[in-house]
Structure 1
């Protein structure tokens, strides 16, 4: 293997190898190198995570899809097994550009798209620029449109000094997510998996930058981009969409679910009352088979 495809990791994955037994490759990008999972064969599906997660979040879905499809799952720069440069443009625009470079690098002509959390804005940001390359879409507790709602538990992490100390010093954001983002307690090994790549002040840089990149006013540099993505979402209305929603999510609440249903009235919607933001943790036994069936429709017509 050349350096681009070397399955190397800066972290010792031994403690979570049973949970995360996937092949990873690496793609050099401007300013950093991206790690991504590349598993299975067949029609390609692209899974796009959010903050403070990484490809580990999709482990149940990867396992369910790889017997049928080629599954590509990036770790955004600053997340998971990807590089975590300190001086880097951690903005939505950059993450969208990086996703596009990955799609082109692995040669995906037409893809199924699965998005969660920040992955909604990132994945849909790429999709509205390439609607002809998108076949089906699965939405998991996320947004790709502006909202005035920002829970105080996230808002306080944006405060100068306090936010840095809490998010990067104490790892409060990632630690809290392992408790507050799931309705059911995570097993110790699963909790370890989420936290493993974010083990130092330096390695938590992207967690803080994602929080700061939430656009709450037109003066924010990412506001116009999210608004533009929203205005282009109608270009995807002809794509079959499955929305799987954790009903106990205090961040991406039913307000956001209503936003998706308004924009995609023909979408198939399943709301798991017992699940929270990490819907693939709380409801994976039901959610994964639904995604596999949904993405498996009409695969014989795809090249």
Structure 2
């Protein structure tokens, strides 16, 4: 099967070394295509750049499109000897943008990528020219999936052992089948998920050691944030919610009308909290909008950027 990076980006998969939140060097995998204003595509939890496979080509006709795998995900480094601290994604996103751009960027984030984008817009507004958020877990009160709950409650040492034993590799057909079943549940039309999609979606979990434990670690951070938010203890989620009015860059909010993870009412609430935002419902769209409603998402992004004088 042809390498997705090579098939998608002129230079294939490239690498960038940044200092992570701990000050250690970490290698970030990325690809870019097109020219003009930089436009970053941010993936969700457990995903990687492949989730934007339907957006790279059409958006790169107008922009310099950059897809990267966040630390711990996809093809980027997965340091496991040091535990992550809450908020590291925001700091590392800022460093990636600063390393690759010399001007404010357009940020398009889906799911947890959208939440990180909102935090960045509050903390480093000078880095963002336009913002697009899709199905963001901004007002969630729980982890949305049973498998996430299991990973969030399992000691990392146990998951590390599973990872070290390469159980996902030895049981690859079963892993692919289970993940395919679950991924189809977040698509309005499950039939669009091809065998090639399943291969690449599951590839990091099967072929790249460390993926499972890093995803579990991020889920444990997320679960703790939600718990502290519910208990009115200090947490980053509440901080983002309380400072939404600080985001003044033009923002487009896209939300699937069939999103069973984070309902569209959360999108409307987010729209009311952002003074310079637009809100659009994606018809017949579940949580995985970048796959299930790619054409409409791409059209909405381009129209928004044109209407706000960025195209």
TM-score by length of 2: 0.80
Give, in whole Å, the separation in 2 of the partners of 1:273 and 1:205. Answer: 35
- Choose which of 235, 242, 245 in structure 2 pairs with 1:234: 245
Is residue 84–residue 206 contact of structure 1 (8 Å, CA) maintained in 2? Answer: yes
Cross-structure match for 1:103 = 97
Cross-structure match for 1:189 = 196
Q: Does 1:206 align with 2:200?
A: no
Give, in whole Å, the separation in 1 of the partners of 2:28 and 2:302. Answer: 26
Is residue 28–residue 70 contact of structure 2 (8 Å, CA) maintained in 1? Answer: yes
Query: Structure 1 residues 217, 75: closer, same or farther in 2, change over 3 A?
Result: same
Give, in whole Å, the separation in 1 of the partners of 2:249 and 2:310. Answer: 14
Cross-structure match for 1:50 = 44
Give, in whole Å, the separation in 2 of the partners of 1:152 and 1:50. Answer: 14
- TM-superposed deviation, 1:285: 1.9
1:31-50 mapped onto 2 (5 Å cutoff): 31-50=25-44
- TM-superposed deviation, 1:15: 5.4
Query: Structure 1 residues 231, 176: closer, same or farther in 2, change over 3 A?
Result: farther
Q: Say which SS state the counterpart of residue 197 (structure 1) adopts.
A: helix
Q: Say which SS state the counterpart of residue 216 (structure 2) adopts.
A: helix
Query: Structure 1 residues 132, 44: closer, same or farther in 2, change over 3 A?
Result: same
- Choose which of 110, 113, 117 in structure 2 pairs with 1:119: 113
Give, in whole Å, the separation in 2 of the partners of 1:187 and 1:18. Answer: 19
Cross-structure match for 2:274 = 264
Unaligned stretches of 5+ in structure 2? 19-23, 169-174
Q: Deviations over 1:97-121 (max 9, x none)?
A: 1111111111242111111111122
Q: Say which SS state the counterpart of residue 115 (structure 1) adopts.
A: strand
Q: Does 1:60 align with 2:70?
A: no
Q: Deviations over 1:73-105 (max 9, x none)?
A: 221111111112222433442111111111111
Query: Structure 1 residues 92, 161: closer, same or farther in 2, change over 3 A?
Result: closer
Query: Structure 1 residues 188, 20: closer, same or farther in 2, change over 3 A?
Result: farther
- Choose which of 253, 257, 269 in structure 1 pairs with 2:263: 253
Q: Does 1:225 align with 2:236?
A: yes
Structure with more of its chain in helix, by fraction:
2
Give, in whole Å, the separation in 2 of the partners of 1:108 and 1:199. Answer: 36
- Choose which of 146, 151, 161 in structure 1 pairs with 2:144: 151
Cross-structure match for 1:87 = 81
Q: Say which SS state the counterpart of residue 45 (structure 2) adopts.
A: coil
- Choose which of 133, 137, 152 in structure 2 pairs with 1:139: 133
- TM-superposed deviation, 1:160: 2.4
Give, in whole Å, the separation in 1 of the partners of 2:27 and 2:251. Answer: 31
Query: Structure 1 residues 131, 161: closer, same or farther in 2, change over 3 A?
Result: closer
Query: Structure 1 residues 258, 290: closer, same or farther in 2, change over 3 A?
Result: closer
Query: Structure 1 residues 92, 67: closer, same or farther in 2, change over 3 A?
Result: farther
- TM-superposed deviation, 1:17: 5.7
Cross-structure match for 1:7 = none
- Choose which of 9, 13, 35 in structure 2 pairs with 1:24: 13
Give, in whole Å, the separation in 2 of the partners of 1:103 and 1:164. Answer: 32
Cross-structure match for 2:184 = 179
